[in-house]
Structure 1
Amino acid sequence: MNKHFKKVLLCAGVAVGLCGCSGGMKDTLTLGCSNFSNSLDPSASPNSAWGTARYGIGEGLFRFDDTMNAQPYLCDTYEVNDEKTVWKFHIRDGVKFSNGKELTAAAVVASFEYLYEQERNYKGTNKPSQYLEYTDIAADDATNVVTIVTKRPYADLTKVLSHVNYIILDTESDMALAPVGTGPYKVVNNEVSVSMELERNEHYWNGEVPFEKLNIIYMEDSTIKSFALQAKDVDIVDSITTAHDLKMLRESEDFNVAETVSTRTAFSYINHDGVLGNDTLREAVLLAVDDETIAEVTLGGVYTAGCAVLPLTLDYGYNELIDKTPFNVELAKAKLDEAGIIDTDGDGIRELDGENISIDYISYVMKSLDVVAEAVAANLNDIGIDVKLRVLDSDTHWNMVANREFDLAINSWLTVPVGDPVGFLKNWYGKSDINYSGYQNNEYDILYEALLEEIDIMHQKTLIQRLQQILIDDSATMVNGYYESNLSSNAKIEGVTMPMSESFWITADIKPAEN
């Protein structure tokens, strides 16, 4: 057996042993998954909010259904004025946090205010203000209503509030290690970056919680996750990305694979203030990357290749877009040669302004991003460009992205996290505080500002299509492909689904299968 696999299973066994139970017992559910962040505080980083939602700790006012429409959750009714700037949300009666405190309108407002107060420390994209800017938020505990006055009109604020950024937590709890929410499980022990132990929320408002305990065991490697599931060390695993493991799990009667059509794009930020600010070099880099082979062969079809920042599964004019940089190694070399970006000393590396071209490329181990990055690096080496690839933990990666300490930085993001891509497209808006690539295009900025004010859906689509084409024409970012998300589980467990939003994995619907 692989030594690394033995080590991971040993860690899993230790984590489970601490709980006095095993993944196979019916009172305990065990999830093996990537470590999204060392913090569970949604204000700490984009990955923190995802973990806290996915582990069944926190819930929001609304939740996406399977068609990415928002459904009431902790809010049961709402109303909005004609201008769509004043929104009133009635908080569901009878809901308690897992520590027994009542969920009041004031508690909801406190959660929002904490999130926005801490935003200055937020590392990475997906900031709360990226999706929702408000001028006032107030609570009326007598009526249990929260009123939000927005800075601009929102076509559908309920979709925005379905994003995991806005899960409601008791701000007096330990937000980093053991935040208290209204979800089916509560944290009782958190061994950072190794494992976490949770227990049933005895105060849960939305039905019976089937398992007494929930164990989270952090695993990064896809094959190790598959082995752990087969060995019954875990009941559920996320993100099986190796083709042969996924095929086996799909075909076996002992396992179920829940998959969803992806709205997720793997893309790399390009630092336009560094060596890749050179237009010819940047274009040649994109021409040299064989996206089809990486997606279909290297990754076995877990990704689908494409040229736009928004996946072809979304209705934003993908088929009308023109790919400026389809795979063409010879054209890439010719463009570099013509621009005088050549290897003058015979060391195999091209030079720009008298210096060897060396690209600082950062990645992290999630959804096969490290494998994609390795393949990209090999493609660039083939045209005489040196690549320094570093595979980091996700928190370090995002700190470096936020500080723009990279030439290329690969990421995997949901493109319509609030039901539309407006917030995602802010990544390339010149006046944005999340424009980590330093990209500037006046036409893009003008159209993006028009998009922010547009509430007509058809007009929005026209603007979004044009914004995508501008990014393609400018070689503004490297699109690596579109991911199909999955959760795999033991067939003795039922109720496991992969939501299109990829948000809430552990729910009270997951329970032992009936015989």
Structure 2
Amino acid sequence: MKLRKRVTALILVVVAAVSLLSGCGTGGEESSGKTLNFGCTNFSDSLDPSAMVNAAWCVSRYSIGEGLFRFDEEMNAQPYLCDKYEVDATKTLWKFHIKEGVKFSNGQDVTASAAADSIKYMYDQEAKGKGTSTPSVFMKYESISGDDETGVVEIVTSKPYADLCAVLAHPYFSILDVNADTDMAANPIGTGPYAIEKYDTGVSIAMAANKYYWNGQVPYDHVNIIFIDDSSTKAMALKSGDVDIVENIVTSSDLDSLKRSSDFQVSETIGMRCGFSYINQKGILADSSLRKAILLALDDETMCDVTVGGMYTAGCSVLPSTLDYGYENLKDATPYDVQQAKKLLDDAGIVDTNGDGYRELNGKNINLNYLTYDSRNLTDFTEAVAAQLEAIGIKVTVKTTDADTEWNMLVAGEYDLLATNWMTVPVGDPYSYLDNWYSKSTANYCGYANDNYDRLYEQLEKEMDIKNRGEMIQQLQQILIDDAAVLIHGYYHSNMCSSKAVTGAEIHTADYYWITTAIKPAK
């Protein structure tokens, strides 16, 4: 209880600090006092979208930046900063017209050349190795140019794309004023309804209404983003009135409490996210018998239904069962079977020879380095996995870190297992997500390699027929299952919880949009 009181006191200090700053305002107008306090996990200490994928998502989620296109609830890309487009018969020449009257939050016009510069910035930073964001995974191009007289951005792609509009709806392609004299990591200038006043790294972000906003009235004069990583603390802050909205309460008891109360609203969606752990196959887990035994030893149903209180739906594939990619036709190659796991290890000679209770491989005790961070029940899963693997003589050391550090360690390959949660159809299609396991990809951080997977993935890149693509994606899933390439936790149920002081706080399917102009003060 004392700890909770200290946490509440800290939240109040942060709220007070950003509220004092909010009185300054960037809009030049007298404040009406309408302020939204939003509690969320801190996913990145940078807001430069080129720094890492989490930073790009934050720019979109906080309504700082917007793209040429935006996903609707069915994951169809709809024109946004772009009002019309055309594509030639080869699907390699694309022309996008910038909507009239759109400005950045510093008052500068969003011209075609400014939009082109923003997209090229991401690729320039990737080429220089200045960040870990990989826009090239989603789009490869020959040229990008902007004609300010016609207002058209022209993109010539290196290969045909079935739907480049959906690609440009990804947060990597939020249109920012990259030519502005500003620190991109702390103050990116976008076209969204809110603009940054002060960024206190790791603590809070104070934002004010963008007086140049192009798309209607901005509901709040000020928005305070307050970073609260612990789920129960987020729920407590919402109940106490310290914040108005929180994202992703992952403690089932806290979520049930909010659902039962008439004082709060809970918005949930199921379907697009997969919780999984990368298996680093550049180290000890290159041994296929060890990988398969690990998966056999894990009781997925109990972990999803009991350990995390039904916050996930159990499954065996990297793509959720709710998506139309043939899940019902897949065969789980490693269903829960502890005795079979032990037999597989014994038969492979992975045994405990020194009697310390832990098995050895190549003469050394197995001690798996398992990385996680506090988001979407990932720590609960890792601890449960460690306990269940202990039962078959596999030692696991769990290390909990922050999202940025975990991502950097993933890229560096400094792990054996690494828990994460991904949007599986980031551009309305799983092609780029499946790139995680394509051996020739720079995004393959786990070292997985399978010639059949690679050949099929390369065919998928060229296939434009939707039915054929679906069949290929089903086959790709089965290959990963058969190879024990990924440790699947399950399919996440996203949520957003709010007090009755606000309306319109809905969790979106795409999970790219948290703070939106739909969120307004209740009347």
TM-score higher than 0.5 here? yes
State whether residues 287 and 329 of structure 1, in contact with CA within 8 Å, keep that contact through their aligned partners in structure 2. Answer: yes
Letter in 2 for 1:224: T
Deviation string, structure 1 residues 470-509 (Cα, Å, up to 9, x no partner): 0000011111111011110011200111110001111112
For residues 353 and 272 of structure 1, what CA distance do their matches in structure 2 show?
16
1:344 touches 1:350 (CA, 8 Å); kept in 2? Answer: yes
Residue 22 (structure 1) shift: 11
Corresponding residue number in structure 2 for 1:13: 12
1:376 aligns with 2:375: no
**3-state SS of paired residue (1:174):** coil
Determine the C-alpha separation between the residues in 2 that align with 1:342 and 1:27: 64
Letter in 2 for 1:456: D
Residue 85 of structure 1 pairs with residue 92 of structure 2: yes
Contact 1:123 1:399 in 2 (8 A): no
Percent identity among equivalent residues? 52
Of 102, 105, 125, the match for 1:95: 102
Aligned position for 2:345: 336
Distance 1:476 1:354 in 2: 24
> Which residue number corresponds to residue 122 of structure 2?
115
Report the TM-score when normalising by structure 2. Answer: 0.96
Equivalent residue number for residue 479 of structure 2: 470
SS at match of 1:463: helix
For residues 262-314 of structure 1, give each alpha carbon's deviation from its aligned partner in whole angstroms, at most 9, with x where no partner exists: 21111111111211111111100111111111100011110111000000010
C-alpha separation in 2, matches of 1:491 and 1:413: 30
Structure 1 residue 145: deviation in Å?
0.4
- Cα distance in structure 1, aligned partners of 2:52 and 2:251: 28
Summarize the Cα distance change of 1:220–1:501 in structure 2 as closer, same or farther, 3 Å threshold: same
Please list, as runs of the form range in 1=range in 2, the aligned pairs for 1:437-456 lying within 5 A after superposition: 437-456=446-465
Question: 2:186 is aligned with what amino acid?
Answer: L
Q: Secondary structure of 1:498's partner?
A: coil
CA deviation map 1:140-165 (0-9, x unaligned): 00010000111111111111111111
1:206 — aligned with what?
215
Residue 29 (1) aligns with residue 45 (2): no
- Give the aligned residue type for 1:11: L
What is the CA–CA distance in structure 2 between the aligned matches of 1:340 and 1:448, rounded to whole Å? 34
The equivalent residue for 2:318 is 309
* SS, match of residue 11 in structure 2: helix
What does residue 130 of structure 1 align with? 137
Is 1:61 the counterpart of 2:68? The answer is yes
Q: How far apart in 2 are the matches of 1:208 and 1:143? A: 28
- Equivalent positions of 1:425-440 (< 5 A) are 425-440=434-449
How big is each residue's C-alpha offset from its partner over 1:107-160, in whole Å with a ceiling of 9 and x where there is no partner? 101101111111143655x62111111111010000100001111111111111
Q: Write the deviation string for residues 294-339 of structure 1: whole angstroms up to 9, x where unpaired.
A: 1000111101110000000100000000000011111101111111
Q: Are the equivalent residues in 1 in contact too, given 2:271–2:323 (CA < 8 A)?
A: no
Aligned residue type for 1:348: G
> In terms of mean alpha carbon deviation, does 487-496 or 308-317 score higher?
487-496
Computed over aligned residues only, the root mean square deviation of the Cα atoms, in angstroms, reads 1.4
Matched, 1:324 2:325: no
Query: What is the match of residue 168 of structure 2?
Result: 161
Q: Does 1:512 align with 2:521?
A: yes
Q: Would you say the 8 A contact 1:295–1:481 is kept in 2?
A: yes
Normalised by the length of structure 1, the TM-score is 0.97
CA contact 2:275–2:491 (8 Å) conserved in 1: yes
Paired letter, 1:18: A
2:58 equivalent in structure 1: 51
**Number of aligned residue pairs:** 511
AA matched with 1:311: P
Check conservation: 1:8, 1:219, Cα contact below 8 A: no
Could you tell me which amino acid in structure 2 is paired with residue 112 of structure 1? I
Take 2:7 and 2:233, find their aligned partners in 1: how far apart are those partners? 8
Which amino acid counterpart does residue 409 of structure 2 have in structure 1?
A: M
Task: Name the CA shift for 1:324/1:122 in 2 (closer, same or farther; >3 Å).
Answer: farther
2:244 is aligned, of 235, 241, 247, to 235
SS at match of 1:263: strand
Classify the secondary structure of the residue corresponding to 2:188: strand
Question: How far did residue 26 of structure 1 move?
Answer: 5.7
Post-superposition CA distance 1:31-57 (Å, at most 9, x none): 000001000000000100111111111
Instruction: Tell whether 2:410 aligns with 1:401.
Output: yes
Q: 1:389 to 1:123 in 2, by over 3 A?
A: farther
